[in-house]
Structure 1
Amino acid sequence: MRLLYLITRAEPGGAQVHLLELLRGFKDRAELHLGVGEDRDGFLIEEARALGVQVHILKHLLHPIRPHEDLLGLFEVASLLKRVNPHLLHAHSSKAGFLGRLAARALGVKSVYTAHGWAFTEGAPKGRRTLALAMERLAGRLSDRVIAVSRYDQDLALRHRVVPLEKLRVVPNGVPDTPLRAHPEAHPPRL
């Protein structure tokens, strides 16, 4: 199986750590590809390469909204989908999720989007919230599945009619099930 993961930034953050755990979990079960925009290096790129993941830098997949760059980014993502020919696209982050789902639908590639929060929530400027909501409503209908990382995010998606219930699942973020042991003798606490 070939999986293509797509994310806008490689800098340390919750979505990137989540994605890295997915790469670690699937590295022996699938051919893995990672499309990353904006950052040409960064912790996620380094870690993915160390796992043997094929990393593809997408120079037009940028975080800020820039219509011309976003159109180029859409074509860049579509080109990557054609080259990799994945069985599944799994997108993370709003911009990568939107462009990835549009390109995947146009090319007949199955897509999953994991929402690590929503860009249309309170706190963002009103114009940005309105645009983000319209984009998520469109992309939500194009997705084969949308994963919310919490019940709160699921409820927001349903309340704002972002994605039909039958396409929405909650998969809570977790932490690895590894025992953590304190070793105070190694480094005594300092105040």
Structure 2
Amino acid sequence: MKTKNQENNKRQIIIVATTASMIEQFNMNNIKILKELGFGVHVGTNFKNPGTITNEISNGLIERLTKLGVKCHQIDFKRGVGTPSANKKAFRQLSKTVEEEDISGIHTHSPLGSIIARRVAHKLGVKILYTAHGFQFFKGGRLKDWLVYFPVEWFYGRWTDALVTINTDDYAVAKHLPIKRVYYIPGVGTDIENVERIAKEQRQKLRQEVRRNLGINNDEYLLLSVGELSERKNHATVIKAISKLNDPKIKYVIAGIGDEETNLKSLIKENRLENKVQLLGYQTDLDGLYFAADLNVFISRNVNLN
């Protein structure tokens, strides 16, 4: 008996990521391309614990995907390295989805999700493409990371049909993995062409408007960080530096959400920086913030799988 997907004669592809934020922030164009090529598209991720987006945005993402004809599947991935029981559950959920939906190809993202997805692909004989958003190991990185994470990627590289890297360091390292097809596609960044299309007068208007809304005076120096509130993003170091500088003209705003919010709020209070540091939460329109800022601060560090 043929399934509905087989009768439609569409090859089914599933995009897999540990969190819904990875889908929302990095994969909407991938989904659009697959739809345009005539594939049936599925998404398997954790919509209930969506990562660096809010649950409201995650629910909206499901609605957007559904309207595009994309089928959404809740997979209970954990962040980091997960737990044995949670990882087994995610493996069973993804295996069931791939089998029931006649999936012929998987495009996987994020370390843990990609390990589980590759195990599923190997078990079921499904083709798999892995996009690495930054290996835990890199030239000049910690020996511990090389000893722990490189063997894992090497092992699962045997079950990877193709790998996409988004920076040149990962591309160089990937040549030492047992993967025949390795590609380099420049990753996310600033859309310079889009910024240049905005007239200088409009940029200045946005700058003044955003600074006014934030309570930032024209003679004050504004620092901006955009990213998840996590230990890995290292916002606490900037807050501590501002405290040591003790310059009343320096202000700092952080756009993002995450597990470190409570700790960062405590750090701000301990250092009496309530009038100098603001946590803005998740922001969908960043152009105004970038124009308002005098310096963009990005000092992420690698501390664990994410």
TM-score (normalised: structure 2): 0.53
**8 Å contact from structure 1 (residues 4, 84) kept in 2:** no
Aligned equivalents of 1:129, 1:48: Cα separation in 2: 38
Aligned pairs (5 A) from 1:40-79: 41=55, 42=58, 44-59=61-76, 61-65=77-81, 66-79=83-96
Mapped pair 1:36 → 2:45? yes
**8 Å contact from structure 1 (residues 91, 111) kept in 2:** yes
Change in CA separation of 1:149 and 1:44 when aligned onto 2, cut-off 3 Å: farther
Aligned with 2:177 (options 162, 166, 174): 162
What secondary structure does 2:20 align onto? coil
Structure 2: gaps (5+ residues): 1-10, 209-217, 219-306
> Percent identity of the aligned residues?
21
What secondary structure does 2:131 align onto? strand
Aligned equivalents of 2:148, 2:89: Cα separation in 1: 19
1:79 to partner: Cα distance: 1.3
Root-mean-square deviation (CA), in Å?
Answer: 2.9
Aligned equivalents of 2:146, 2:63: Cα separation in 1: 33
What secondary structure does 1:77 align onto? helix
Aligned length: 184
Change in CA separation of 1:130 and 1:78 when aligned onto 2, cut-off 3 Å: farther
Partner of 1:171 in structure 2?
Answer: 185
Partner of 2:25 in structure 1?
Answer: 17
Which is bigger in relative contact order (C-alpha 8 A, separation at least 6)?
1
Change in CA separation of 1:124 and 1:64 when aligned onto 2, cut-off 3 Å: farther
Partner of 2:107 in structure 1?
Answer: 90
TM-score (normalised: structure 1): 0.81
Mapped pair 1:111 → 2:111? no
Change in CA separation of 1:130 and 1:33 when aligned onto 2, cut-off 3 Å: same
Structure with the greater alpha carbon radius of gyration: 2
Aligned equivalents of 1:75, 1:171: Cα separation in 2: 32
Structure 1: gaps (5+ residues): none
Partner of 2:117 in structure 1?
Answer: 100
**8 Å contact from structure 1 (residues 18, 173) kept in 2:** no
